[in-house]
Structures are given as structure tokens and as C-alpha cells.
């Protein structure tokens, strides 16, 4: 009888721990302002770069709204790592400024209008 009670106690404890671990492994969605995204090329670059980050389930960039939506596993990464990843790709992400070396390597169309880039540049 004592063994049966011990087995039951272990079973209940292990189920409780499994439920607690399941809660830790939740998928979160973050919307990140990416104001320097200019075109389809920028969109593809960020999506390709961030999708390789550990813990990222999906990434979608809307370059017209300057918004990046990322779904990620909260036990594998966090929002700051994702923002830093976007900055390392050469783009501003919320309060994190683009990495200057990465930004310098971007094609002209992907740079800010004040740096001679952007899709809205008018020719005289």
C-alpha cells in the first residue's frame, strides 16, 4: 500500500512539473517598429536574417507600415535578442539603432533617404 501511495505521489508530481514546463515554453508575438525598412529587398533581408535566430518561429515584415511581427519561443530567446538581430542586419528596431557596419553594407535602395537611398528618391 505504501508503494502505491509513493507511485501516485510521484506521478502527480511529474504531471505538475510537465504542466509548469509547458507554460514556460509559450510562443509570444512581438511587433517591432522598423522605421528604416524601405523596400521588398529590406523585407527579404530581415526575414531571412531573423528566421535563422534560435527560438524564432516566424517573422513577417510590412515595409509599408514599417512594422516587423515576430513569433518566438519565450524559453529560447527574448525580444531584446530579436531587436539586436534586426540591428545587426542593418536596420533600426524600436529603440536599438542599426549596426553602422551592417548599415554601410546595405544596397543604396535600402538606406535612409538622407543617405541617398530609399524608394522615394526623386530624380531632377
Per-residue pLDDT of 59-94, as tens digits, reads 999 999 999 999 999 999 999 999 999 999 999 999
Number of domains comprising the chain: 1
Residue that is written with C-alpha cell 528618391 in the block = 121
Assess if residue 12 is contained within a domain: no
Is 86 within the bounds of a domain? yes
Q: Is the residue at 84 inside a domain?
A: yes
Cα separation, 55 vs 89, in Å, equals: 17
Q: Is residue 122 part of a domain?
A: no
Is residue 3 situated within a structural domain?
no
Look up the domain containing 100 and give its range.
26-115
Q: What is the CATH number of the domain that holds 59?
A: 3.30.70.100
Give the global pTM: 0.75
Amino acid at each position: 500500500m505504501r508503494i502505491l501511495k509513493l507511485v501516485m505521489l510521484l506521478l502527480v508530481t511529474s504531471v505538475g512539473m510537465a504542466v509548469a514546463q509547458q507554460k514556460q515554453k509559450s510562443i509570444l508575438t512581438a511587433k517591432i517598429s522598423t522605421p528604416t525598412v524601405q523596400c521588398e529587398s529590406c523585407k527579404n533581408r530581415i526575414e531571412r536574417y531573423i528566421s535563422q535566430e534560435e527560438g524564432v518561429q516566424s517573422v513577417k515584415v510590412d515595409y509599408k507600415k514599417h512594422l516587423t511581427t515576430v513569433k518566438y519561443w519565450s524559453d529560447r530567446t527574448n525580444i531584446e535578442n530579436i531587436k539586436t538581430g534586426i540591428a545587426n542586419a542593418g536596420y533600426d528596431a524600436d529603440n536599438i539603432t542599426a549596426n553602422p557596419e551592417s548599415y554601410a553594407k546595405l544596397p543604396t535602395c535600402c538606406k535612409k533617404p538622407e543617405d541617398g537611398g530609399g524608394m522615394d528618391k526623386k530624380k531632377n
